[in-house]
Amino acid sequence: SPSAQTAWESVYYIQNEMHYGSVVRGIHHYSSAIMVVLLAIHLIQVIIDGAYKAPREINFWLGLILMQIVLALSLTGYLLPWDQKGYYATQVTTKIVGASPVVGPQLQELVQGGPKYGHHTLTRFFAMHAGVLPGLLVAFLGLHIYVFRRHGIHVPDEDRGPTQRFWPDQILKDAVACLGVLAVILMCAIFKGAELSAPADPSEAYSAARPEWYFLFLFRFLRFEAVEHFGLAFGAIYVPGIIMGVIALMPIIAMIKGGHRFNVLFMWTLAICVIGLTGLAVIEDSRDSDHQAAIAEAERDAHRVKELAGLPDMIPVEGAGSLLKNDPFTQGPRLFAKHCSSCHRYNGHNGRGRLVTDMDPATEKSFVSSPTASDLGNFATRDWWRSVLSDFENHMKPATNSGYDLEASAGDGMVMWCSDNAEVLKDPQNKDDVDAMIEYLASLSGNPQLELDGDKLARGEEIISGGELTSGSISSCTDCHAGIGSDFELGAENGGYPELNQYGSVAWLKAFIQHPESEQFYGERNVMVSYAEKLSEHELDMLARWLAGDYAESHVHDYPSKLDELDAAIKSSSNADGASENDASGDEADGDESGGEAPEE
């Protein structure tokens, strides 16, 4: 259905709900790719065999027109699912149209139905793909076959003409070849299927966009510095136009002595360049960590939106795009990367699977920057609380990277508490009690995805309130953190320490993100920026619910942890800084031994 609100949805229905719909779409998808390849092979064969020469030049030109129509079908069909990949990749095509001399901007608006992509873009591309271009294809194919039948089969060597009839010998060979191609298409359609990425979202950048693989050579050619210098029109219109002009003139060039050899050499050179540029693009993309991260995120979004569309609520009236926009699992990492990753990390990365980097102004080289606040990858979980109770100083160590004096700021708080109670907490006899404490503290967040042990909860609540363990006792948490176990309410009185009522819940997180300076949190010791004016209500809700785990359960693989990579990068940077300092100290010592300042020249 060619509408910005129904295109993706109709393709999703075909691929996921209709019986054998995914196979049908896969056949359509892979047939178009193989069609382009077979046309290229056919063109090379025609030129090598000299079947383009007079009197067959008209048929050759008709074949070139048919090739352009097939390429146009591929380009227009790429946008029709209205997914992120097709949406952003097709924009490159329309920008190339806009770079045309004289009438470029007007032609671009005509093609896309206005200054921006939208409903009219889809209807025009659909009309071209399903109506105009197929009609032209049938018409020119009829002319092509008519001229072919008129001139007959071209035989490069007249002494080796056909000795058998077309029927049934050649028909059998053609049938076997066609069955082989069909088998390959069916295998791809059944076992791999056609890709359907997340619904198109103009507000969300999509850096993983690439054209179909058979257009990668042009994509890579346009990225050469020399080509970029001359502009998009040079690389995408003038150069391809000249190449197509040479190919179209080949029947005339062949009339000149040595012309056929030139044509064959030109064609082989072009084929090698196309294959080489395609391979280069694939290799460079495989080595580009940012591009690979973008692909992983795109696959994550694609799987997630299909999960959400398959829930009982299904796709809302607003369209499938609203599923991801209102999904904390999708929006949370993006908001974290934008607003939080300058200080915090999430399992070592920026929330979206990438290490946070900065630029060294002296060397103009990027480096992995150190976090200046705690990693929130396991926020309010059992692992989080185990780290807080056993080694709070190390848990909050990233804060010292910003010059924050943890011990001085905390005073006789958690650093002192961990030190005073370490012996009791580490006693093997108290292992079950410590686990019970952690179970109870983790339950405060109300995380719906957390499976809790009822017996541990009851025991943990006793210890948190009274401080009595199997072997020995600890300072009760309620001595400093009043009201543990009650509902959180912003503005309530507390003992001057971070409030643990519903710690890590959506309500607690929203209040903390908006008012970290509140006496219920860090008060005068706070160094975190307030986001009360920086996040909308919807953004705040998405971020808080993601951190609290309050979203529809997902089987999509989350971004892999980067903790080991981050630690290795920080250690490497520290070692390099230490070596630089030693070199500097050595230089100073050499200067002192030489007797002071160097003489002036």
Average pLDDT score over residue span 141-161: 77
Is it the case that residue 589 has pLDDT exceeding 80?
no
Question: pLDDT-based confidence at 593, cuts 50/70/90?
Answer: very low
Q: Are 14 and 21 in contact (CB under 8 A)?
A: yes
Q: What pLDDT score was predicted for residue 154?
A: 66
Q: What is the mean pLDDT of residues 217-221?
A: 95
Strand partners, 368: 357
Tokens at 410, concatenated: 């905390």
CB neighbourhood size of 439 (10 A): 22
* Contact (CB, 8 A) for 539 and 333: no
User: What's the whole-number mean pLDDT along residues 572-600?
Assistant: 53
pLDDT at residue 580 in the model: 55
Structure tokens at 601: 């020249």
How remote is the C-alpha of 165 from its chain's centroid?
55
Q: Could you tell me if 513 and 519 are in contact, meaning their C-beta atoms sit under 8 angstroms apart?
A: no
Question: With bands split at pLDDT 50, 70 and 90, how would you rate the model's confidence at 523?
Answer: confident
Return the higher-pLDDT residue of 558 and 57: 57
The Cα–Cα gap between 431 and 434 comes to 5
> Residue 595 pLDDT > 50, yes or no?
no
pTM of the model: 0.83
514: which residues sit within 8 A by CB, 6+ positions away?
530, 531, 532, 535, 540
pLDDT in tens, 58-98: 999 999 999 999 999 999 999 999 999 999 999 988 999 99
Place 525 in a pLDDT band, splitting at 50, 70 and 90: confident
Contact (CB, 8 A) for 409 and 384? no
Residue 192's φ and ψ, nearest 5 degrees, are -115, -45
- Domains of the chain by start residue, with CATH: 7-156+165-200 (1.20.810.10), 292-371+558-581 (no CATH), 382-548 (no CATH)
Q: Which of 492, 367, 491, 472 is nearest to 420 (CA)?
A: 472
Looking at residues 306-333, what average pLDDT do you find?
93
CA distance linking residue 261 with residue 490, whole number of Å: 83
Quick one: pLDDT band at residue 155, thresholds 50, 70, 90? Answer: low
492 falls in which pLDDT band (50, 70, 90)?
A: low
- Distance separating alpha carbons of residues 115 and 105, to the nearest angstrom: 9
Structural contact between residues 72 and 133, judged by C-beta atoms closer than 8 angstroms: yes
User: Encoding tokens for residue 178?
Assistant: 């066609």
Query: How high does pLDDT run on average in the chain?
Result: 88
Share of the chain above pLDDT 70, in %: 90
Here the contacts of 332-335 (C-beta below 8 Å, separation 24 or greater) are 332/542, 332/543, 332/545, 332/546, 332/547, 332/551, 333/546, 333/559, 334/204, 335/535, 335/539, 335/542, 335/543, 335/546
Handedness of CA 50, 51, 56, 61 (dihedral sign): negative
* Cβ-proximal residues to 371 (8 Å cutoff; 6+ apart), any chain: 343, 344, 345, 356, 398, 401, 566
Q: Terminal CA-to-CA distance of the chain, rounded, Å?
A: 81
The residues that bridge with 357 in the sheet, in sequence order, are 368
Closest listed residue to residue 336, CA positions, set 376, 287, 387 = 376
Q: Torsion angle, CA of 286/290/292/297, rounded to 10 degrees?
A: -170
Max mean pLDDT range (121-135, 357-371, 461-475) = 121-135
What percent of the chain has a predicted confidence (pLDDT) above 90? Answer: 62
Q: What pLDDT score was predicted for residue 596?
A: 39
Residue 597, pLDDT > 50, answer no
Instruction: Name, in order, each residue with C-beta under 8 angstroms of 528's C-beta and a sequence gap of 6 or more.
Output: 343, 373, 516, 517, 522
- DSSP assignment of 497-547 equals S---TTTTSHHHHHHHHH-TTSTTTTGGG--SPP-TTTS-HHHHHHHHHHH
The reported pLDDT for the residue numbered 233 is 93
**Average pLDDT of 528-536?**
92
Cα(235)–Cα(478) distance, integer angstroms: 70
Burial of residue 178 (CB within 10 Å: 0-12, 13-18, 19+) is: exposed
Residues 322-338: what's their mean pLDDT?
Answer: 95
Ordered DSSP codes for 171-232: HHHHHHHHHHHHHHHHHHHHHT-----SBP-TTS--TT----GGGHHHHHHHTSHHHHHH-H
pLDDT for residue 599: 35
- pLDDT, residue 483, reads 67
What pLDDT digit, counting tens, does each position of 435-459 carry? 999 999 999 988 888 888 888 999 9
Residue 393 in tokens: 């100083």
As a residue count, the chain comes to 601
| Helices vs strands, H then E, count in the chain | 26, 2
Q: Which of 489, 484, 429 is nearest to 461 (CA)?
A: 484
> Any idea which residue has 């149209």 for tokens?
97
pLDDT of 500: 84
Please compute the mean of the pLDDT values over residues 483-491 and round it to a whole number: 73
